[in-house]
């Protein structure tokens, strides 16, 4: 019995020693090993900031979703169960099993990203081995394609890929949080242990656009592009007093909520990235150069007989012989011969410097990714042909936004303000480009374009005075030179002309059919957009006479 008791005592002592050794000497080691197998640090997704219009209406919001994932080492052991998972998620069974086989040595594989929470809970409720879900966010765009070119979109990981989503990624994205959780051997979370850091939501971004005006511009642009079977189109509406973009739309467009049918051609924000030769819409800027030279005033006569002029080997023509015109008449009739004579009578760099002062050949500093600065050439020695063609808008290339900014200089009586895609809390500083007197003289000239006898009568707005300029631009040919039957129809203008509040530019690229002039295609779109915009902003009428009165 003594021997038995001795053996039992030694055994008990050994067990006691082992317990002490494990709980004291080996405690830290064992806890590290246990944590390494069961405790995981997992991210807490941060809510991305919203994008809003100037009235606070949401343009981009983040909705909670569930991303379903699996441990292939667990799920792959039961093929019948794997087939059920594929069927419940609507995944092709053969493709799913092949992907599961490829990941057989991994512990993580996405099953389906950004699943509706109700649908995800149905799947997770089946308690399939190795199938799990994690909380996430998916971007949703309430206005869809109406604002898509400006707002942009995110990828599957909620990172900005286009537009303002990309430009202000650091501002919007927020900061991920982290927490420690305990998981079982299949990867399922058993218990939340502690919070390591809280997720910090992103900041909201308030754009300058007014969604009401944006809808109007989108509707009218889409209708005219379809009506004339045009290749593309752009509309920009600016607030004269602040330089804010109140509307910016392009066609073709796409729905950022359903990118399965999205084409590459529809991605570009053409108003900021695409350039074109602006044609006759540059004639008022050439007139500014002439008026500021001191050689001309609005009543100065220019002989355009016999309706064409030969510059070197190039013959520049008007639509017909307008005879003797004053400077106002050159704008009213859009005389190529008239502005050519003005440009050739001025110092070589005069027209180019005026264009540059209006913002051409420079990015507008809007901050939009991929914005083009356009092309404004400069020559050590100017060829008369270069001077002449620049005077009526050829040989240069600008974006629709640059054209709008240039006309906003007239509308603000000679002040140039930076273009803003964000809502401004105060009026930004402006740079004076020309005397107020000259700006008002040119606005008066531009009013005649919309009145009887001008080229843009269809741009008129009932009860408002409108000033603007048409442009019908020959597009370059692939074979060199300019195509005889491919045009861009342009109208740029402002209202009310007595005290301009809004500037709008309409560009319709390659309208097909019998109508292709700026006054026929673009001017009516300007009229409808401007009329609705002035009404929405409660701008008082300044012309209660009938149109043309």
Q: Tell me which DSSP letter residue 295 carries.
A: S
- Kindly name the residue from 232, 241, 280, 366 that is annotated as catalytic: 280
Is 287 within 8 Å of 331 (Cβ atoms)? yes
Is 330 within 8 Å of 287 (Cβ atoms)? yes
Is 66 within 8 Å of 122 (Cβ atoms)? no
Is 166 within 8 Å of 157 (Cβ atoms)? no
Q: Which one, of 367, 360, 359, lies nearest residue 150 by Cα?
A: 367
List all residues 6 or more positions away from 166 whose beta carbon is below 8 Å from its beta carbon: 152, 160, 369
Q: Token pair of 146, please?
A: 């109406």
Q: Token pair of 490, please?
A: 């342009």
User: Which segments of 268-422 does DSSP mark as H helices, in order?
Assistant: 270-273, 283-292, 327-333, 336-344, 350-357, 384-391, 400-411
**CA–CA separation, 250 and 265 (whole Å):** 11
Is 138 within 8 Å of 154 (Cβ atoms)? no
Is 524 within 8 Å of 481 (Cβ atoms)? no
Q: Provide the edge-to-edge strand list for the sheet that holds 39-44.
A: 39-44, 177-183, 189-197
Would you call 114 a catalytic residue per the annotation? no
Phi, psi of 481 (to 5 degrees): 75, -155
Q: Which one, of 12, 267, 54, lies nearest residue 163 by Cα?
A: 267
Q: Which one, of 361, 418, 419, 393, lies nearest residue 490 by Cα?
A: 393
User: Which segments of 393-435 does DSSP mark as H helices, in order?
Assistant: 400-411
| Cβ atoms < 10 Å from Cβ of 345 | 13
- Give catalytic residues, as residue numbers: 280
């Amino acid at each position: 019995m003594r021997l038995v008791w001795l053996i039992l005592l030694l055994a008990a002592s050994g067990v006691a020693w082992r317990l002490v050794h494990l709980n004291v000497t080996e405690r830290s080691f064992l806890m590290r090993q246990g944590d390494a197998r069961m405790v995981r640090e997992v991210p807490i997704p941060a809510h991305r900031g919203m994008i809003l219009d100037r009235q606070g209406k949401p343009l981009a919001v983040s909705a909670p979703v569930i991303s379903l994932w699996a441990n292939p080492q667990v799920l792959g052991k039961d093929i019948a169960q794997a087939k059920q998972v594929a069927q419940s998620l609507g995944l092709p069974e053969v493709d799913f099993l092949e992907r599961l086989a490829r990941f057989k040595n991994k512990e993580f594989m996405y099953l389906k990203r950004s699943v509706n929470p109700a649908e995800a809970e149905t799947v997770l409720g089946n308690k399939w081995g190795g199938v799990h879900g994690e909380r996430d966010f998916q971007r949703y765009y309430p206005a869809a394609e109406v604002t898509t070119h400006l707002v942009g979109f995110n990828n599957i990981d909620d990172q900005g890929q286009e537009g303002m989503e990309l430009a202000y990624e650091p501002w919007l994205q927020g900061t991920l949080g982290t927490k420690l959780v305990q998981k079982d051997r299949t990867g399922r979370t058993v218990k939340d242990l502690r919070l390591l850091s809280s997720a910090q939501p992103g900041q909201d971004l308030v754009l300058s656009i007014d969604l009401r005006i944006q809808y109007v511009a989108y509707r009218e642009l889409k209708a005219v592009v379809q009506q004339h079977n045009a290749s593309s189109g752009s509309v920009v509406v600016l607030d004269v007093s602040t330089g804010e973009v109140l509307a910016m739309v392009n066609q073709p467009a796409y729905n950022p909520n359903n990118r399965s049918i999205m084409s590459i051609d529809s991605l570009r924000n053409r108003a900021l990235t695409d350039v074109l030769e602006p044609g006759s819409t540059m004639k008022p800027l050439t007139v500014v150069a002439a008026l500021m030279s001191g050689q001309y005033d609005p009543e100065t006569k220019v002989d355009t007989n016999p309706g064409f002029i030969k510059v070197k080997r190039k013959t520049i023509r008007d639509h017909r012989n307008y005879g003797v015109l004053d400077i106002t008449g050159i704008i009213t009739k859009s005389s190529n011969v008239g502005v050519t004579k003005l440009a050739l009578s001025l110092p070589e760099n005069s027209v180019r410097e005026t264009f540059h002062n209006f913002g051409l050949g420079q990015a507008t500093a809007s901050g939009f990714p991929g914005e083009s600065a356009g092309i404004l050439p400069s020559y050590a020695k100017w060829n008369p042909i270069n001077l002449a063609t620049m005077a009526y808008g050829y040989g240069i290339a600008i974006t629709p936004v640059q054209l709008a900014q240039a006309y906003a200089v007239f509308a603000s009586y000679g002040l140039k303000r930076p273009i803003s895609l964000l809502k401004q809390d105060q009026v930004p500083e402006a740079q004076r480009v020309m005397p107020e007197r000259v700006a008002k003289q040119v606005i008066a000239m531009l009013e005649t374009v919309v009145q009887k006898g001008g080229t843009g009568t269809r741009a008129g707005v009932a009860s408002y005075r409108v000033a603007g300029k048409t442009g019908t631009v020959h597009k370059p040919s692939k074979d060199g030179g300019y195509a005889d039957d491919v045009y861009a129809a342009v109208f740029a203008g402002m209202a009310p002309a007595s005290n301009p509040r809004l500037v709008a530019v309409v560009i319709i690229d390659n309208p097909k059919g019998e109508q292709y002039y700026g006054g026929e295609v673009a001017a009516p779109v300007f009229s409808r957009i401007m009329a609705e915009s002035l009404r929405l902003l409660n701008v008082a009428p300044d012309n209660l006479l009938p149109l043309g009165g």
